[in-house]
Amino acid sequence: MRRNIFLFIVFLSLFNCFSKDFELRKTPFIKSNIIYKDGTSEKGLLRIASSVFKPRLQKEKGEKSIKLDYNSIDKIITNPETENERVFQYLHHNYSKFKIFVELIYTDVLSIYISSTDADDLFYSDFDRQSIGEMMNQARFEGRSQFSSRLKSSDTLRLPNGKIMTLPIKYSYYNGLSFGVAFGKTPALNYYLLKQGDTQLYRVEKNKRFLKKAKDIFNDCPILINDLEQKKITLKDLPRFIEYYKDICFDNKKSQ
């Protein structure tokens, strides 16, 4: 009896060890250039493990990493000087006093940023970070016949700059009351506008709500405010909206 109990305890210990290994997610260091607010910069390998607000920098591969103060960072440029260069920032927005982690996806007099409900997944969207458990849930999801037309491991987003971004899907499986329910969910994205020269983001929403929360971003262009109120223009197509803004506000202002 004691021998059986001992073997059972050993089995549980080994199972827990393997389970922990199975649940590990790939969280690599990424070649980055850190631009600080004081004008200095630092190159190395950046890793964001537990939180995007706790970045760690490794000067050389294999060296001990150091924690960075996100408040001192102006920009994080990953894969610098390559076709896959990406820019991340910690910025204030018009919905909270706290900063959010965002990616710059379009640069103009009104620049476009995105944030994700899974900020670390946004940073690591170029990597497959599924754990063994998540891979098993994906297999269950893809095995359900009613989802046969939606078989895919990720969704994609075409950015205004022409690039394609991968949005990893979170797979879940529930097996209660002798039946299984599988589903996949893509992280929700929020879009923001940043006016040239400003430091605060404005969340992109439907015209009425956007004007209520972000009217002051266009307080120097009453024509645009009126056109938004009259629904002559919307924010559904952001590149087109930006060009509209430049035509009736920005360019006219420059010619005065």
Comparing 153 with 18, the larger pLDDT belongs to 153
Residue 30 has pLDDT above 60, yes or no: yes
How remote is the C-alpha of 212 from its chain's centroid?
26
Nearest to 101 by CA among 120, 84, 86: 120
pLDDT band at 10 (very low <50, low <70, confident <90, very high): very low
pLDDT (tens digit per residue) in 156-212: 777 777 778 777 777 776 665 555 666 667 778 899 999 999 999 999 999 999 999
β-pair partners for 157: 165
Comparing 226 with 131, the larger pLDDT belongs to 226
Question: What is the spatial distance between Cα 109 and Cα 91, in angstroms, rounded to a whole number?
Answer: 17
Highest mean pLDDT pick, 16-20, 63-67, 73-77, 156-160:
73-77
pLDDT (tens digit per residue) in 87-135: 999 999 999 889 999 999 999 999 999 998 888 888 988 877 666 676 6
CB-side exposure of 19: number of CA atoms within 13 Å?
6
Residue 227 has pLDDT above 50, yes or no: yes
Q: What is the pLDDT of residue 152?
A: 55
Comparing 130 with 243, the larger pLDDT belongs to 243
**Structure token pair of residue 64:** 């001990």
37-60 burial code (b ≥16 CB/10 A, e <16): eeeeeeebbbbbeeebbebbbbee
- The values of phi and psi at residue 175, to 5°, are -125, 70
The residue written with tokens 């002051």 in the block is 216
Q: What is the pLDDT of residue 20?
A: 39
